[in-house]
Every structure is written in C-alpha cells, then in structure tokens.
Amino acid sequence: MSTRVTMVALLACLAAPLLAGENDCPVDTIDGRFYCEECDLFTSLDMTCKTCKTKNKLVIVCVRIGHTCEACKTWQLAKGDCPTCKKPLIEKEVITPVVYLCDACKLEYEFPGICDKCKADVRQTCRKSGTCPHTAR
C-alpha cells in the first residue's frame, strides 16, 4: 500500500507541470530550504526563526534567476541593460515555496493529490508563479 501511494505521488509530481497554464512557472529548478511561515522568510540551517522564534520547516522551493533594475524596480528574464533607463540589470535569485493548486476552487495544498472541496486534481506550481522570473517566458 505504501509503495502504491508513493508511486501515485511521484506520478502526480511529474505530470503536474504539464497541466500548468501558458505563463505559469515551469518549476524546473527545485531545492529544499528552511522556511518560516509566520514571517514568510527563508532561513539558513537554523531550526528556529530568528525573527519570531517559531520552528522553521523544511519545504521544497522553486529557484529562478531573474534580472532586476534597481532604479526602475522592474524585472527581466534576460541579462543586459534595463530597456527603460539603460542601467545594467542585477542578477538575483528568487525563491518561493512549491505548492499544489486546484484550478477549480483556487485552494492551495502542500502535497499532490485531489482537492478536498471539489475532488479535482491539483497541479504543481509555485507561490510566485506568473510573476517574473517565475514565468514560462
């Protein structure tokens, strides 16, 4: 029984990105990081958050590289200069938790499976999906 559940979860993880919307994050680079839900912050290997002193949990995260203009506060996927002010873009890593979303009711889950409310399949995405650099293009 346990092996069957694990296989179903693995297949759901592999198939979920295929069901994503046109501009959704492909969630192609994932990693494990410690995360404080209270502060919405990623921490180092500490087990407790230095800000609120609650226990951090290890979560799967989506890691994407983007380029930002400090002057205009805009994001680009490509390297180079800002198209607006022509200043050099700065490369930054943008990390966000991987979640499973029901498209029908917009409920968010931590694990793959079926939506509790409407019984539809949930798909893998990240919390910042659709915002640069967490976009398909």
CA-to-CA distance for 78 and 133, rounded, in angstroms? 10
CA distances from 39 to 22, 36, 70, 110, 135 (A): 31, 6, 24, 18, 25
What residue segments make up the domains of the chain, in order of their start?
2-126
pTM reported for the whole predicted model? 0.70
Asked whether the beta carbons of 130 and 26 are under 8 A apart, the reply is no
Report residue 137's pLDDT band, with 50, 70 and 90 as the boundaries: low
12-49 pLDDT, tens digit each: 343 444 444 567 788 888 888 888 888 888 877 767 88
> CA triplet 122, 10, 17: central angle to 5 degrees?
45
